[in-house]
Amino acid sequence: MATNVRVERDWNNDGFLRISGAETLARYHELQNQQSSIPVKDYGVFFAFSNKQFEEGYQELVKRGLIKDGDRIKRFGNVAFGVLDGMKRWIKEAAAIDAQIASECDPYEVYLDEYNNYECCIDMDGDTRAVERVISLFGLERTQEAIRGRRFRAYEEIYDIAEGMKN
């Protein structure tokens, strides 16, 4: 656990955390930005949050000759779609960056950052989504090292939920 990290609740901002003294948070953000800038289109993958976006992404795959009109494509999660081989390559590249995060960043600092990112201070599920993210990066054992801001569910319960979503 990071020893120099200091956390204060900002009650003028709904209880969000003010984090200071973090040693690996800048690197975490750098790696997240690197992951966000993976050129998914090069892999034949697109994100769609509406039927219109899905149709546009699908037609782009047709236009690029990656599929024929009428072909079925794969879905990953809720909003990622594309050709299977491309999805596998994209996931592999993203997983390599996740591995860097796990080896170079502190789980407690990542937890604090994700606590704010997922607005856990006002979320009815407490810090569940922040913990899910940290478990996905560091595993259950290292996640248990993190100090919890709003304990709502046990680590094991969140881990079981996250594992169930993988299947």
Express each pLDDT in 86-125 by its tens digit: 999 999 999 999 999 999 999 999 999 999 888 888 877 7
119 domain residue, yes or no: yes
What is the predicted pLDDT for the residue at 84? 93
Which pLDDT band, with edges at 50, 70 and 90, does 2 fall under? Answer: low
Are both 132 and 85 inside the same structural domain?
no
What order of strands is seen across the sheet that includes strand 74-76? 45-47, 80-82, 74-76
Of residues 167 and 83, more confidently modeled: 83
What is the predicted pLDDT for the residue at 157? 75
Percent of the chain with pLDDT over 70: 89
**What is this structure's pTM?**
0.79
CA-atom Rg of the chain in angstroms: 18
Beta bridge partners of 74: 82
100 domain residue, yes or no: no
Which pLDDT band, with edges at 50, 70 and 90, does 51 fall under? Answer: very high
83 closest CA partner among 94, 71, 70: 71
Range of the domain at 157: 6-24+106-166
What is the predicted pLDDT for the residue at 91? 93
Which pLDDT band, with edges at 50, 70 and 90, does 162 fall under? Answer: low
97 domain residue, yes or no: no
Are both 119 and 155 inside the same structural domain?
yes
- pLDDT tens, position by position, 137-152: 999 888 887 766 555 6
How many helices (DSSP H) and strands (DSSP E) are in the chain? 6, 5
- Three-class DSSP category at 150: coil
Are both 78 and 111 inside the same structural domain?
no
Are both 129 and 88 inside the same structural domain?
no
What is the predicted pLDDT for the residue at 149? 57
Of residues 7 and 99, more confidently modeled: 99
**Helix locations, 21-123, DSSP H:** 25-36, 51-63, 84-104, 107-117
33 domain residue, yes or no: no
60 domain residue, yes or no: yes
Domain boundary among 92, 118, 136: 92
Task: Give how far Cα 122 sits from Cα of 3, 12, 115, 158, Å.
Answer: 27, 13, 10, 18
What is the predicted pLDDT for the residue at 167? 53
Percent of the chain with pLDDT over 90: 65
Are both 122 and 145 inside the same structural domain?
yes
**For all residues of the chain together, what is the average pLDDT?**
88
What is the predicted pLDDT for the residue at 3? 66
Are both 152 and 122 inside the same structural domain?
yes
The count of domains in the chain is 2
- Three-class DSSP category at 73: coil
88 domain residue, yes or no: yes
Q: What are the structure tokens assigned to 75, written together?
A: 């879905």
The two beta strands, 80-82 and 45-47, are antiparallel
32 domain residue, yes or no: no
